[in-house]
Amino acid sequence: MSCVSEAGLTAPKMKSPPGAKMASPYGGGFLPERENVVAAPPFPRLKLTAPLSSFPSIGPRRHARLARRGLSTVLDLLYCFPFRYEDRRIRLLISDLVEGAEQGFVATVRSIRKKVVPKLRAPIIEATIFDRSGEISVVWFGQEYLLKHLPEGSQAFFFGKVEYSSYSRSLVLRSPVVEVVDPEQGLRRSYHIGRIVPIYREEEGLTSGVFRRIVGDVLRALWGESFDPLPESVRREANLMGWFSSIVEMHFPRETERPMEELLLSGYPPRDRIIFEEFFFLEYLMMLRRQGVQHSGRMWSPAETAESAITAFERRLPFPLTGAQRRACLEISQDFARPHPMNRFLLGDVGSGKTFVAAFAMCQALRGGCQTAFLAPTEILAQQHSRTLAGLMKEDPPVLLSHSVKGGERRRLLAGIADGSHRVVVGTHAILEEGVIFSNLGLVVVDEQHKFGVAQRKALWSKGPNPDILVMTATPIPRSLALSYYGDLEISLLDELPPGRQPVTTRVVAKADESFWHKKVAPVLARSEQVFVVLPLIEESEKVDAKNAMDVHAFLSDLFSGVRVGLLTGRMGGEEKEAVMEGFRSGEIAILVSTTVIEVGVDIPRASVMVVENAERFGLAQLHQLRGRIGRGGLPGTFYLIPGQGIGEEGRARLKILEEYADGFHVAEEDLRLRGPGEFLGVKQSGLPMFVVADLVRDVEVLTRSRRLALGYVEESEGRMESAWEQAGLEEFLRLRYREVEVWLSIR
């Protein structure tokens, strides 16, 4: 394969003479098998990079509708695969039809008429059709054009679901697909009948039939395409189908006796090819990023050995590090000793002590003579990190920069950061603004990286010359997700909790009425312990049937009039939030009613109970993070989940997982399986490609294999001229396939 611009991302002209029947190498797959199929289609050959507007059958209105679905080029269209298939091959007579199944057959119209029913908005079209084996009634709703389209005596192909009618006590075909048979040419195979037919997601103006015709015509225009974005050596070792044949058969499968649902699973060769391709592309990008970091120089060196640095840091702590924390600190120290910057992901369960490992890294960077920055997604979390770090870095106390800091105080802070006198900066998105200039930023710590977009992360990395990067999250990440979306980082795992952390018991409770609060919460308050109450909404909504923080705050203030009940929401200003949190930390507030603004990082040692209303509205990983806010100060915790009235069996099963498992990694695996990577990690903001076909839970073995082959390919290709041309083609394809790859590759 050579560069894309030279490699025939252009379909070759078809050389068969006019009138010749085009032979398909795909065994009855894509092309309509009919007489007099013209080899060259009646439209110009297309480039994969061509805009869809250049295609004659796609007018301005249809082009706008495609663009709304994110489809602007031929390449975009090719990767918009069907979500299911229908077997519309003609194999049955009317006497063979089975109730409840979708079936296709050819029959003749005996009679057809319009029936007006007063209670219905549209008329009913009724027909009786027959073949040599018998007859059956057909019913459509509102499709009056069929009266002319299907006159008595006409022959047509019918495909639809057969149902038993208690009214007529016979089988009825309801709203079938119809294709009229030409009496001279007979029934001709098309994109819509006589084959396994793709079904696409529909929207206004883009029915599955319209989409099918557009895709089919584009594939015919590209017939014979030989380009393949995967390197030949990788394709051969993975034993994969070619690119174009896989694309064709994903849209128009070849004849098969396999059940239709199997075409949507791994094990179908074209789908296996696309699954591997999606994983390989992502892993290859990860290797490029890792390679880019390894080729850049670092700006500082550690002032002491790893062991002495860890020993010195432990003297600052009121407790010894866990074995997992010591291991992570050692791995960070080894990174600092290398000639290229660190790029590490600190992965641990809720309460495993990630902040202290980050503090160790920051202490080492300070001893090396550079500034450090700690970025947090919320002001509450930034304030908490600032307090924790202040107790560990008394010689270099951190400054807090957020949007709440204004006027002269802000100007003084920015001046101190610019001249290097403020060496530790903790903050929110305010750190990312252009006016924040560092003197010599050497280490960046990012908490909850997935909550920041591509442009935001790039803005931070650019504030220092190749700074070391440490990212961490309170969301336990499943192995498959860590391999795919954090594959460019080295991973440190904190797999044990600090001593003193008490177990948290999770209970699903039917409802939180007055009896619940008196029996379960009043005794907790009597012991001077504190309670979180979490709601999905701030105030009442007409659109959402769920409890809200304002109403519950008023209810609990009245019910527990002897204690102070606080309210915390995202709408409050920074000073107001801090005043509420300070009241809760000091114990002045006994019950804190809140939205998920307290999801991560909030540390209240006396908080032993949390009640989550409408718990089914939260993700499993999010609920696990909330659970981690209690039981942090040596007190055993209880986590009450209160489902809403409309919760179904699936919702109850999800909450049951939290009752049964305390391990965050198991919970995360279940959450990934239920929600997918996009919602789990906010991948849409990451700039990374979303998977169209691959599944991180189902296809984890393919992910592992693609990662191994991507690593091997990058290592073997380095310095080889022929591989440079091949890689250039692959990378150009990735830029065309995934719009934000260029931006993503430019940041760390």
Residues 254/245, Cβ–Cβ less than 8 Å: no
Residues 441/370, Cβ–Cβ less than 8 Å: yes
| Residue range 238-258, pLDDT digits in tens | 999 999 999 999 999 987 777
- For the question of whether the overall pTM of this predicted structure is more than 0.85, the answer is no
The predicted model gives 636-664 an average pLDDT of 88
- Predicted local distance difference test score (pLDDT) of residue 373: 94
- Predicted local distance difference test score (pLDDT) of residue 421: 93
| Residue range 539-557, pLDDT digits in tens | 766 566 678 889 999 999 9
Residues 342/299, Cβ–Cβ less than 8 Å: no
| Residue range 572-584, pLDDT digits in tens | 887 888 889 889 9
> In a 10 Å sphere around its CB, with 0-12 CB exposed, 13-18 middle and 19+ buried, how is residue 304 labelled?
middle
Longest dimension (CA), the chain: 95
Instruction: Provide DSSP, 612-666.
Output: EETGGGS-HHHHHHHHTTSS-SS--EEEEEE--TT--HHHHHHHHHHHH---HHH
The predicted model gives 273-299 an average pLDDT of 82
What is the CATH number assigned to the segment(s) 91-186?
Answer: 2.40.50.140
Helix runs in 295-406, H state only: 306-314, 323-336, 354-367, 379-392
Kindly state the tokens that stand for 461: 């990395």
Q: Which amino acid is at 328?
A: A
- Residue 708's H or E segment, with its range, is helix 700-717
| Residue range 304-344, pLDDT digits in tens | 889 999 999 999 888 889 999 999 999 999 999 998 889 89
Tell me the range of 186-195, 383-392, 540-549 where mean pLDDT is highest: 383-392
Alpha carbon distance 251, 216 (integer Å): 8
SS3 assignment, position 113: strand
DSSP 53: G
Alpha carbon distance 281, 222 (integer Å): 23
What is the CATH number assigned to the segment(s) 504-661?
Answer: 3.40.50.300
Pairing of the two strands 134-141 and 124-131: antiparallel
Alpha carbon distance 746, 689 (integer Å): 15
| Residue range 197-225, pLDDT digits in tens | 999 998 777 888 889 988 988 898 888 77
Residues forming CATH 2.40.50.140 domain(s) in the chain: 91-186
| Residue range 57-87, pLDDT digits in tens | 788 888 888 988 889 889 999 999 999 998 8
Q: Between vectors from CA 145 to CA 140 and to CA 148, what angle results, nearest 5°?
A: 110
- Predicted local distance difference test score (pLDDT) of residue 139: 93
| Residue range 26-63, pLDDT digits in tens | 334 454 443 333 333 444 556 888 888 887 778 888 88
Per-residue pLDDT band at 723 (split at 50, 70, 90): low
Ramachandran quadrant class, 194 (left: phi over 0; alpha: psi -120 to 50; beta: rest): left
Residues forming CATH 3.40.50.300 domain(s) in the chain: 306-494, 504-661
Judged against a pLDDT cut of 80, whether residue 689 lies above it is answered with no
Alpha carbon distance 501, 508 (integer Å): 22
Alpha carbon distance 265, 162 (integer Å): 27
Nearest to 263 by CA among 242, 277, 246: 246
Judged against a pLDDT cut of 70, whether residue 679 lies above it is answered with no
Alpha carbon distance 376, 438 (integer Å): 18
The predicted model gives 659-687 an average pLDDT of 71
In CATH terms, the fold of domain 306-494 is Rossmann fold (3.40.50)
Alpha carbon distance 271, 283 (integer Å): 18
Helix runs in 24-139, H state only: 60-68, 74-78
Alpha carbon distance 219, 252 (integer Å): 10
Instruction: Provide DSSP, 452-499.
Output: S-HHHHHHHHTTSSS-EEEEEESS---HHHHHHHTTTSEEEEE-SPPT
